[in-house]
């Protein structure tokens, strides 16, 4: 009987650890608002001229602490709202913008195709 009470008490404590329905609803609402703001930011970046857009991208790359002498080209990425910027020295970076306007920069170097 005592073991049953301990298991029941433990189960009740675990159930109390999860978010309430109101907390979950508030979190879902905040996530939806962030998604809308991120889409608005993506639309603003897309509306820039190519030169202005590349200027924004080089600033984001340098702010991320990465080297880039100049952005020579940029194109839309595979993920909606993402861009791929290529620097003069050949480095490439995926840039996305969050709802707060902050840029997220992920660098990658394409691997050359294997020679046969």
Residue 97's SS3 state is strand
Is-above-0.75 flag for pTM? Answer: no
Residue ranges of domains in the chain = 19-108
Q: How far is CA 6 from CA 75, 89, 105, in A?
A: 60, 65, 50
Residue 15 has pLDDT above 70, yes or no: no
Query: Which token pair is 51?
Result: 């030169």
* pLDDT confidence band for 99 (50 / 70 / 90): confident
């Amino acid at each position: 009987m005592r073991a049953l009470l301990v298991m029941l008490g433990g189960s009740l404590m675990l159930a109390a650890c999860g978010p309430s329905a109101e907390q979950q609803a508030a979190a879902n609402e905040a996530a939806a608002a962030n998604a809308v703001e991120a889409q608005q930011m993506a639309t603003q970046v897309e509306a820039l001229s190519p030169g202005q857009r590349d200027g924004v991208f080089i600033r984001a790359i340098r702010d991320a602490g990465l080297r880039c002498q100049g952005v020579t080209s940029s194109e839309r990425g595979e993920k909606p709202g993402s861009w791929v910027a290529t620097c003069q020295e050949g480095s490439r970076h995926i840039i996305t913008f969050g709802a707060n306007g902050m840029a997220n920069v992920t660098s990658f170097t394409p691997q050359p195709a294997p020679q046969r």
